Structure 1
Amino acid sequence: MDDETVDAYLERIGAKRPERLDPAALRELHERHLLSVPFENISRTERSPFDLVEAELVDKIVHRRLGGFCYELNGTFGLLLRALGFDVTMCAGRVLLGTESGPVEWDHLCLRVDFDEPYLVDIGLGWFSRHPLRLNSTEVQTDAAGEFLIEPSENGERIVHHNGKPLYRLWPQARELEDFRESWWWHQTSPESHFTQESTCWLPTQDGRLLMLGNQLVCQKGDQWTDEFFNDDESLLAAYRQYFGLELERVPPPAVQS
């Protein structure tokens, strides 16, 4: 990622180049990314599925200003962090929520960023920690998004818990983008994948979150929940633009049929 692309990416998330490569700088970039780039599966409808390679990830997130899910969000954020000089490793995980995981053992891409100690960086789950988590800590870590616990498991694996429930299994060993290609493609195209069942778009806010499910917008602000339905294409596209910053070419189509 060249300097011009780095500057465009930082502008996309409303951040400046960090003066120091430390946990505080990582924390700032992590939060700004979460609050700026939505977790979504709708952009698969914008054009034919693209390849899981660096240039196309950067084009999608930085230049076309869309969102994505873990492979795209964490994959591209990892490229930014490396370009800035952080020590970044791509890692594999498996979500433990009873969803279909596809043809390979892992179905999630996350990041490890190393300082004197390693941090778990994950902006690719839609609703996860607002800030990086200390990967080797066995204590509960309190965050704006709840309480997190990283439990050591066999063979160096970790189980990441959110609010007392196991969320995903993490393998901290290094992976490459190519290792995720089969699972990424399955999640984009298979009618068995939950990503093809209904269009969804998540974006955390300073005091809650926004969620678009089909044509329903759900807004959480503190303990208050409201929803709104958009019954025509024009108003739905305007809502994506207003609430998520997404300029879509067309309304997401119905779910993939088996």
Structure 2
Amino acid sequence: MHSENFDLSTYFRRINYTGQAAADTATLHALMRHQLFSVPFENLDVQAGKGVSLVPEDIADKLLQRGRGGYCYEVNGLFAMALAALGIPYRFIAARPMFYPARRPKTHMALIAEVDGRQWLCDLGFGSYGIRAPVALDLTDTDIVQDFDTFRLTRDANNAYLLQAKVEGEWASQYGFDLSPQEWIDFAPANYLNSTHPDAIFVQKLLVVQHGSGGRLILLGDVLKTVTADGVKTQQLTKDEIAGVLKNRFALPVLQ
């Protein structure tokens, strides 16, 4: 993933990263955590009726220069630019969201990075129950604790993977995927569906998620949730309060 206007030092400033950078496991983990905790998952453009551009230069401008966030193609696309700049091999994969009542197409996008002889699932754009650090693909059927969340990967007879998260004490399927590499252009139909179809959650409701080391802040429609290890606090918001939360809690512009 290459963008003419992507600059690694600008990226590091955007994600508040001041450590060493190399094509190794430590850097991969550090960059994913720093970006996840700095760049929000958000669908403001979809809610404003604007198209979501997959042009790499538009993504870099939006997330780096304008201080915005984005949904999976944008935040994972930005991460791919950083991996490319560091010389870390990766591939895009298409994933099928599994938490809907009916079977869905593979509209989610994530990354598989390869460092130090291992393959790692990296994903900065799955919202509420997304992974919080890279997950090694060889850790199947193992509880993977990340901060106060627990995940696991399972694998079926067809070598397909399923990512699950423990939600209220029960395993909840998040998405399924295989390792078939995808080209960037392959996500154009899914991006169009997610940004325009009336059944898409991004079209139906405002959704903003900001992860942090101590929890996550979720704005879904007019409900603000603060999730920590101690539990969930919920607050109903007015239209004016939503504008204030976007500005003051997420550092994002008000919906026009």
TM-score scaled by structure 1?
A: 0.87
1:122 and 1:19 mapped to 2: Cα distance?
19
Is the alpha carbon distance of 1:232 and 1:186 closer, same or farther for their aligned partners in structure 2, counting shifts above 3 Å?
closer
Q: Which residue pairs with 2:161 in the alignment?
A: 158
Is the alpha carbon distance of 1:178 and 1:99 closer, same or farther for their aligned partners in structure 2, counting shifts above 3 Å?
farther
Q: Which residue pairs with 1:122 in the alignment?
A: 123
Partner of 2:37, secondary structure, is: helix
| Residue 241 of structure 1: how far off its partner (Å) | 1.8
- Provide runs of 4+ in structure 1 moved above 3 Å: 1-4, 16-19, 99-102, 227-230
Q: Which residue pairs with 1:169 in the alignment?
A: 176
**Which has the larger displacement, 161-170 or 145-154?**
145-154
- Structure 1 residues 49-98: Cα deviation after superposition (integer angstroms, max 9, x where no partner): 14322112212211222111111111221112111221111111101112
Is contact 2:4-2:57 (8 Å) kept? no
Is contact 1:147-1:162 (8 Å) kept? yes
Partner of 2:77, secondary structure, is: helix
1:166 and 1:124 mapped to 2: Cα distance?
16
Is contact 2:42-2:207 (8 Å) kept? yes
TM-score scaled by structure 2?
A: 0.87
2:125 and 2:162 mapped to 1: Cα distance?
17
The counterpart of 1:67, out of the listed 66, 69, 72, is: 69
RMSD: 2.2
1:66 and 1:107 mapped to 2: Cα distance?
22
> Does residue 1:217 correspond to 2:218, yes or no?
no
> Does residue 1:244 correspond to 2:223, yes or no?
no
One-letter amino acid of the structure 1 residue matched with residue 193 of structure 2: W
Gaps of 5+ in 2: none
Alignment of 1:52-201 (within 5 A): 52-98=54-100, 105-115=105-115, 116-126=117-127, 127-138=129-140, 139-163=142-166, 164-201=171-208
Identity %: 26
| Residue 119 of structure 1: how far off its partner (Å) | 0.5
- Structure 1 residues 117-138: Cα deviation after superposition (integer angstroms, max 9, x where no partner): 1000011101322110001222
Is contact 1:189-1:196 (8 Å) kept? yes
Partner of 1:109, secondary structure, is: strand
Is contact 1:75-1:109 (8 Å) kept? no
Q: Which residue pairs with 2:40 in the alignment?
A: 38
Partner of 1:18, secondary structure, is: coil
Is the alpha carbon distance of 1:147 and 1:225 closer, same or farther for their aligned partners in structure 2, counting shifts above 3 Å?
closer
Partner of 1:162, secondary structure, is: strand
Q: Which residue pairs with 1:19 in the alignment?
A: 21
Is the alpha carbon distance of 1:243 and 1:90 closer, same or farther for their aligned partners in structure 2, counting shifts above 3 Å?
same
Gaps of 5+ in 1: 252-258
One-letter amino acid of the structure 2 residue matched with residue 118 of structure 1: Q
